[in-house]
A and B are shown apart, each in its own frame.
Chain A
Amino acid sequence: MTTTTLAVLVPLLPFLGAVAGLLLGRTAPGFVRPLAVLPPLVSLVLAVLVAVRQGGDQAINAHTELTPTGSVPIELALYIDGFAALVAVLVAFVASCVQIYSTGYLRDDPRYPSYAALVSLFTSAMLVVVYSGDLIVLLVGWEIMGICSYFLVGHYWETPEARAASIKAFLVTKLGDVPFLIGLFALATDAGSFRITTVLGTVASGGLHHPTLVALLLLAGVAGKSAQFPLHTWLPDAMAGPTPVSALIHAATMVAAGVYFVARLLPVFQASSAAMVVLAVMAAITMAGSALAALAQDDIKRVLAYSTIGQLGYMTGALAVGDRGAAVFHLLSHGAFKALLFLAAGVIIHASGTNSLAVMSRMKDLRARVPDAYWTMTVALLALAAIPPFSGFFSKEAVLGAAEHVATGHTEHAPGAAGWIVLVAGLITAVLTAAYATRLWLLAFRGQGAEAPDHGRQPLTMTVVLWVLAVPSLAFGLAYGPLPDWFDGRDLTPVLTTSVLGTGLALVGGLVTYGAWRHTSAMAARVPLGAVVAHPDADAGTVEAEAIAMHAPTFGDMASASDPADPGLLLLGPLHRHAAVGFHLDAVYSVLFVRPVQAGASLVRFLDREVVDTYVRGAGALPRWLGAAVRRAQTGNVQTYVSALLAGTVVLVVAVLLVATGA
Chain B
Amino acid sequence: MSLAAATAAAARATTAAAESHGFLSPTGVEIAFLLVGLVTFGAAIVTVTTKQLVHAALWLVVTLGGLAVEYLLLTAEFIAWVQVLIYVGSVVVLLLFGLMLTKAPIGRSPDADSGNRWAALTVAVAAAAALVWVVVDAFRTTWVDLDGAAAGSTEVTGASLFQSWVLPFEALSVLLLAALVGAIVLSRKAVADKATPALPTPGPPSGTLPPSRTAVDTTASGEQPPAKEGTR
Q: Which A residues form the contact surface with B (CB < 8 A)? A: 637, 639-640, 643, 646-647, 650, 653-654, 657, 660-661
- Please give 8 more A-B residue pairs, beta carbons under 8 A apart, in addition to A643-B123, A646-B123, A650-B123: A637-B114, A639-B116, A639-B120, A650-B130, A654-B130, A657-B130, A657-B133, A661-B1
Closest B residue to A649 using CB positions: B127
**Distance A640 CA – B133 CA, assembled complex (angstroms):** 26
Q: Are B122 and A640 in contact (CB under 8 A)?
A: no
Give the nearest-CB partner of A653 in chain B.
Answer: B130
**Once the chains are docked, how many angstroms separate the CA of A661 from the CA of B133?**
13
Docked CA distance A355–B67 (Å): 115
Nearest-Cβ distance from residue B6 to partner chain A, whole angstroms: 12
Which of A639, A640, A650, A661 is packed against the most chain B CB atoms within 10 Å? A650
Query: Pick the contact of A643 from B1, B2, B120, B134 — CB < 8 Å?
Result: B120
User: What separation, in Å, do the CA atoms of A637 and B1 have in the docked complex?
Assistant: 35
With A637-B116, A640-B116, A657-B134 known as contacts, the answer to whether A647 contacts B2 (CB < 8 A) is no
B116 and A646 form a contact (CB under 8 A): no
Choose from B1, B123, B133, B134 the contact partner of A647 (Cβ within 8 Å): B123
Chain B stretch 123-164: residues in CB contact (< 8 A) with chain A: 123, 126-127, 130, 133-134
> How far is it, in angstroms, between the C-alpha of A643 and the C-alpha of B115 when the chains are bound?
12
Chain B residues with Cβ below 8 Å from A654 are: 126, 130
Give A661 to B120 CA distance when docked, in angstroms.
28
Q: Which residues of B contact A (CB under 8 A)?
A: 1-2, 114, 116, 119-120, 122-123, 126-127, 130, 133-134
B119 contact set on A, CB distance < 8 A = 640, 643, 647
**A interface majority secondary structure:** helix
What residue in chain A is nearest B125 (Cβ atoms)? A650
B121 CB, min distance to chain A CBs, angstroms? 10
Nearest B residue to A662 by beta-carbon distance? Answer: B1
Q: Are B116 and A647 in contact (CB under 8 A)?
A: no
Residues from chain A with a CB closer than 8 A to the CB of B126 are 647, 650, 654
CA distance A647 to B122 in the complex (A): 8
| Chain B positions within 8 Å of A640 at CB level | 116, 119
A-chain residues with CB within 8 Å of residue B127 when the two chains form the complex: 646, 650
CB-CB nearest in chain A for B118: A643
Query: Which residue of chain B is the closest to A656 with respect to CB atoms?
Result: B1
- Write the chain B residue with the least CB distance to A648: B123
- Inter-chain CA distance A301–B122, complex, in Å, is 92
**Nearest Cβ distance between residue A283 and chain B, in whole angstroms?**
91
| A-B pairs, 7 with minimum CB distance | A643-B119, A660-B1, A639-B116, A647-B123, A650-B126, A650-B127, A646-B123
A637 and B2 alpha carbons, distance in the complex (Å): 37
A637 to chain B minimum Cβ distance, whole angstroms, is 7
Q: Report the Cα distance A653→B120, complex, angstroms.
A: 17
Q: B122: nearest residue on chain A (CB-CB)? A: A647
Closest residue of chain B to A643 (Cβ to Cβ) is B119
Q: How far is the CA of A653 from the CA of B3 in the complex (A)?
A: 13
A641 to chain B, nearest CB (A): 10
Distance between A268 CB and nearest chain B CB, rounded to angstroms: 87
Q: List chain B residues, Cβ under 8 A from A653.
A: 130
CB-CB < 8 A to A660: which residues of B? 1-2
Instruction: State the CA gap A647–B116 with chains docked (Å).
Output: 13
B224 CB, min distance to chain A CBs, angstroms:
24
CA distance A131 to B1 in the complex (A): 93
Nearest-neighbor residue (CB-CB) of B133 within chain A: A657
Contacting residues, chain A, for B134 (C-beta < 8 A): 657
Can you name 9 A-B pairs with beta carbons within 8 Å? A637-B114, A639-B114, A640-B116, A646-B127, A647-B119, A650-B126, A653-B130, A654-B126, A661-B1
Chain B's nearest CB lies how many Å from the CB of A635?
A: 9
Question: By the criterion CB–CB under 8 Å, are A657 and B123 in contact?
Answer: no
Task: Return chain A residues, CB-CB under 8 Å to B130.
Answer: 650, 653-654, 657
Question: What chain B residues lie within 8 Å of A661 (beta carbons)?
Answer: 1
Docked pose: A657 CA to B126 CA in angstroms:
14
Smallest distance from the beta carbon of A648 to chain B beta carbons, Å? 10
**A657→B127 CA distance, assembly (Å):** 13
Q: Which of B2, B114, B120, B123 has the most CB of A within 10 A?
A: B123
Chain B positions within 8 Å of A637 at CB level: 114, 116
